[in-house]
Structure 1
Amino acid sequence: MFPPLQNDLIIRAALGKPVPRPPVWLMRQAGRYLPEYHIVKGTRDFFETCRDPEIASELTIQPIDHYDGLIDAAIIFNDILVIPQAMGMKVNMVDQVGPQFESPIRKPEDLDRIDFNCDVSEKLSWSFDAITLTRHKLKGRVPLLGFCGGPWTLMCYMIEGGGSRIFRFVKEWLFRYPEDSHKLLKGITDVAVEYLALQVKAGAQMLQVFESWGGQLGPDDFDEFALPYLRQIAHEVPLRLAEMGLERVPMTIFSKGSWYALDELCDSGFDVVSLDWLQRPEDAVKIARGRVSLQGNLDPCVLYGSDEVIHEKVRKMLKGFGKQRYIVNLGHGTHPTMSADRVGYFLEEVMLASEE
């Protein structure tokens, strides 16, 4: 049994229930901008850190402690690339470069070395252990979020071998090998469904799917190669939870740069659609029409600004979204170069503005 939840604001907001103020959390809130992160991580490799439940749990809780009373959710410290790893691919995290795959997928025959039937419970057991440990250590202070990468985004990494500016190799797959592209996307999706469901079994109280490279697809290609698989996740995770005797939890989709797909995402089966800073809050509210709750969407770089700028931007954002069916967040993640004090000032301004 887990400790009873003391702060359920984000759960209520996600489900469209009345809240006294909008909840707030930050993407990448457990990370390198916090000085205590570096102390705990030490010289460990990034993925080694993720795979140590005790360390991952401590890093997850750091922002909850650092900004005591100012953050309404914890998100488990992990990475979206654990799904490709579970499917048999080797990934290294290189300092100042990012993730690098040792042998990217480059031709259809390479799919033969991908384990589409991997045992998720065994391959990612450390992830579930970290979630369970963190739920207990949080003592119900705030809900714990689990997550995974979106199928299209994971396909990008698996084929490009890392980050990219032009996405040459993965786009070649879409337009030269569409059937194989769908095979890979479907395989990733199936693993993602099981992974998300098992996170809930381990103790996650809410889930988010990060389709970080969604904006690299035009509207038609998004409809073909991204949206169907996001819908599959939104539809099948609750079914899998029911099979496991578990209750459904709120689910959020964040598809960066996919402003053109907001209407479709609002009908995709997710409870919350998270937005980057490329969309005006007022416009997003009109498109959503109360079908989902919205999350976002301050440009993270605003946190480099002055007190006056942060003060103004926060209030404009909250005015645009309103205070119901809304979760305050950045339009993407925090940066390693950000000041922890500036992040704290932003959170304090959110609280002040919510009371005005």
Structure 2
Amino acid sequence: MSRRELVDAPILDTATGRSPKRTPVWFMRQAGRSLPEYKVAREGVSMLDSCFMPELLAEITLQPVRRHDVDAAILFSDIVVPLKAAGIGVEIVPGRGPVMDRALSTREDVDNLPVLDSEVPEVADGIRGVLAELRDDQALIGFVGAPFTLASYLVEGGPSRNHERTKAMMHGDPGTWHALMERLVPTITSFLKTQVDAGIDAMQLFDSWAGFLTERDYREFVLPYSTRILAEVEGVIPRIHFGVSTGEILGAMSTAGSEVMGVDWRVPLDVAAERIDAASGPTVLQGNLDPALLFAGTDVVRSEVRRIKEEAARAIAAGHATGHIFNLGHGVLPNTDADAITEAVSIIHEES
């Protein structure tokens, strides 16, 4: 398809090294449970089902853009959507998260794991619906889950506090682990291709659980596969790479190849930039307001926004970063006041 020609889109300008007209901002999980209109739209529909309903997918994706004036929509989806599309038994259990019909434990289980090798038309149709409403200075960011996080859900059977089965397979049966990663990469890249072909303007590779790994294990068991996924869209759209609690592996993650590195709230942006620059050279930073501080009131948010922008400016001045996209250090918390989110976006834009 012919990609949209965006005019003065702050997020794309920043990601590609141009000067934006204002500080770009979007929030992870901006579409979803924090919005009353989301609860109305999704009433009686399961989370995963809503990801395969084009009109509903588009509506939920657009809700925070209309309400908050953020500079990008983030595709309403879930990291397990490509697994579901491939025919793997998974459901999102309220209050728990993705739960598999059965956990993988053997090489035979891995060899029999279905692979997604075709477009997901419902998602493509939903993306086209989103693009029809966005202004030409608002980007649509697609996303996929990183192979380590998906592998962990498959091996553990669901969310895990310690990832003991996952780490046991990595170290005790590395052949099976690498076979699992090889099995997941084409499913993830196929789902990413669906989004790119439908017209997304940028993408984020989201590794929820990578922060549970040592740098040594990340480099050996994860990095080669995340690198391959990001390489699929090199030179096509800007790429963002983000994980939770990844301060100790930011440098390693940055070598996977992305124009933007997301940073959670635990590491100051200028410190993160030094770690990233030392490993792979300067990149654009994304982050990193603590989501809990949206509960602390206007004065606190204004002060924290100023501090984070100052950290980013120091990193850029030092040559350790090339730009800054404002975001939270993780996703919007479910019971966040929607008006507080709108106000935060306004403050971020005011302080540009």
User: TM-score, normalized by length of structure 1?
Assistant: 0.91
Match of 2:20 in 1: 19
What is the alpha-carbon distance in structure 2 between the residues aligned to residue 197 and residue 311 of structure 1?
Answer: 39
SS in 2 for 1:237: coil
1:278-317 mapped onto 2 (5 Å cutoff): 278-289=266-277, 291-317=282-308
Match of 1:207 in 2: 203
Q: Does the CA contact (< 8 Å) of 1:90 and 1:101 recur in 2?
A: yes
What is the alpha-carbon distance in structure 2 between the residues aligned to residue 214 and residue 3 of structure 1?
Answer: 33
Task: Pick the aligned partner of 1:131 from 116, 121, 127.
Answer: 127
Task: Pick the aligned partner of 1:193 from 189, 206, 210.
Answer: 189
Q: Taking structure 1 as reference, are residues 337 and 306 closer, same or farther at Cα in structure 2, changes over 3 Å only?
A: same
SS in 2 for 1:342: helix
What is the alpha-carbon distance in structure 1 between the residues aligned to residue 53 and residue 190 of structure 2?
Answer: 21
Q: Taking structure 1 as reference, are residues 274 and 71 closer, same or farther at Cα in structure 2, changes over 3 Å only?
A: same
Q: Does the CA contact (< 8 Å) of 2:113 and 2:183 recur in 1?
A: no
Q: Does the CA contact (< 8 Å) of 1:300 and 1:332 recur in 2?
A: yes
Q: Does the CA contact (< 8 Å) of 1:10 and 1:327 recur in 2?
A: yes
Task: Pick the aligned partner of 1:257 from 245, 269, 272.
Answer: 245
Letter of the aligned partner of 1:166 in structure 2? N
RMSD of aligned residue pairs (Cα, Å): 1.8
What is the alpha-carbon distance in structure 2 between the residues aligned to residue 85 and residue 120 of structure 1?
Answer: 13
Identity of aligned residues (%): 33
- Deviation digits for residues 56-103 of structure 1 (CA, Å, limit 9, x no counterpart): 000100011112xx3100011111101222333111122222221111
Match of 2:319 in 1: none
SS in 1 for 2:175: helix
What is the alpha-carbon distance in structure 2 between the residues aligned to residue 7 and residue 50 of structure 1?
Answer: 30
- Deviation digits for residues 289-343 of structure 1 (CA, Å, limit 9, x no counterpart): 4621010111111111122211111110010012861100001000111110111
Letter of the aligned partner of 1:83 in structure 2? P
Letter of the aligned partner of 1:119 in structure 2? D
What is the alpha-carbon distance in structure 1 between the residues aligned to residue 4 and residue 173 of structure 2?
Answer: 50
| Higher mean displacement: 218-227 or 253-262 | 253-262
Structure 1 residue 348 displacement after superposition: 1.6
Structure 1 residue 137 displacement after superposition: 2.5
1:1-356 mapped onto 2 (5 Å cutoff): 4-67=5-68, 70-116=69-115, 118-121=116-119, 124-238=120-234, 248-289=236-277, 291-322=282-313, 325-354=323-352
Point out where structure 2 has 5 or more consecutive residues left out of the alignment. Answer: 317-321
Q: Does the CA contact (< 8 Å) of 2:11 and 2:71 recur in 1?
A: yes
Match of 1:241 in 2: none
What is the alpha-carbon distance in structure 1 between the residues aligned to residue 14 and residue 147 of structure 2?
Answer: 26
Q: How many residues align?
A: 341
Point out where structure 1 has 5 or more consecutive residues left out of the alignment. Answer: 239-246
SS in 1 for 2:191: helix
SS in 2 for 1:252: strand
Q: Does the CA contact (< 8 Å) of 2:286 and 2:324 recur in 1?
A: yes
Q: Taking structure 1 as reference, are residues 80 and 204 closer, same or farther at Cα in structure 2, changes over 3 Å only?
A: same
- Deviation digits for residues 157-183 of structure 1 (CA, Å, limit 9, x no counterpart): 111111111112111211111111011
- Deviation digits for residues 231-274 of structure 1 (CA, Å, limit 9, x no counterpart): 11122333xxxxxxxx6110110022221222233332111010
Q: Taking structure 1 as reference, are residues 139 and 297 closer, same or farther at Cα in structure 2, changes over 3 Å only?
A: closer
Q: Does the CA contact (< 8 Å) of 1:88 and 1:113 recur in 2?
A: no
- Deviation digits for residues 107-139 of structure 1 (CA, Å, limit 9, x no counterpart): 2221133123x3231xx2211111122111225
Extract structure 1 runs of 4+ deviating beyond 6 A: none
What is the alpha-carbon distance in structure 2 between the residues aligned to residue 96 and residue 255 of structure 1?
Answer: 21
SS in 2 for 1:48: helix
| Higher mean displacement: 322-331 or 295-304 | 322-331
Q: Does the CA contact (< 8 Å) of 1:266 and 1:291 recur in 2?
A: no
User: TM-score, normalized by length of structure 2?
Assistant: 0.92
